[in-house]
C-alpha cells in the first residue's frame, strides 16, 4: 500500500486500522484479566478479614473466572476482527473482478 492509494481511495485504510485496534484492545483485555485476577485476591482477603469466607484470602474461583473470561474475550475479539477483515477483502476482490471484466470487455 502506498500513500497515494490512501488519497485516491483505491485501497481501504480500514484493514490496517483494524489490525492496530486489534492489538490495542487485545492488550487491554489481557490487562483487564490480570486486574481481575489480582482483584479477586483483594476480594478474598477482605472476605476473610470480615468473617465472610474461609481460606487464605485468595479467591481461586475469581482468578479462574477472570482467566477464562479473558481468554474467551480474546477469542471473541479475534473472530470479530477477522470478520471485519473478511468483509473488506471481499470488497477488494469484487473490485478486482470488475476490473478484470472491464479489461476483457475492452479487448473485444
Q: Write out pLDDT tens, residues 50-85.
A: 545 555 555 777 788 889 999 999 999 999 999 999
Q: What is the pLDDT at residue 5?
A: 63
Q: Write out pLDDT tens, residues 36-55.
A: 888 876 655 555 445 455 55
Cα end-to-end span (Å), the chain: 32
Concatenate the DSSP letters of all residues of the chain into one string.
--HHHHHHTSS-SHHHHHHHHHHHHHHHHHHHHHHHHHHHHHHHHHHHHTTS--SSS--HHHHHHHHHHHHHHHHHHHHHHHHHHHHHHHHHHHHHHHHHHHHHHHH-
Model pTM score = 0.69
Amino acid at each position: 500500500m502506498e500513500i497515494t492509494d490512501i488519497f485516491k481511495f483505491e485501497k481501504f485504510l480500514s484493514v490496517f486500522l483494524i489490525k492496530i485496534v486489534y492489538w490495542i484492545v487485545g492488550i487491554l483485555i489481557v490487562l483487564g484479566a490480570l486486574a481481575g485476577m489480582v482483584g479477586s485476591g483483594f476480594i478474598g482477603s477482605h472476605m476473610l478479614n470480615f468473617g465472610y469466607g474461609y481460606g487464605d484470602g485468595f479467591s481461586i474461583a475469581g482468578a479462574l473466572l477472570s482467566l477464562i473470561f479473558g481468554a474467551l474475550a480474546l477469542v471473541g475479539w479475534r473472530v470479530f476482527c477477522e470478520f471485519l477483515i473478511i468483509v473488506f477483502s471481499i470488497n477488494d476482490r469484487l473490485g478486482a473482478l470488475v476490473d478484470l471484466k472491464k479489461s476483457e470487455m475492452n479487448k473485444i
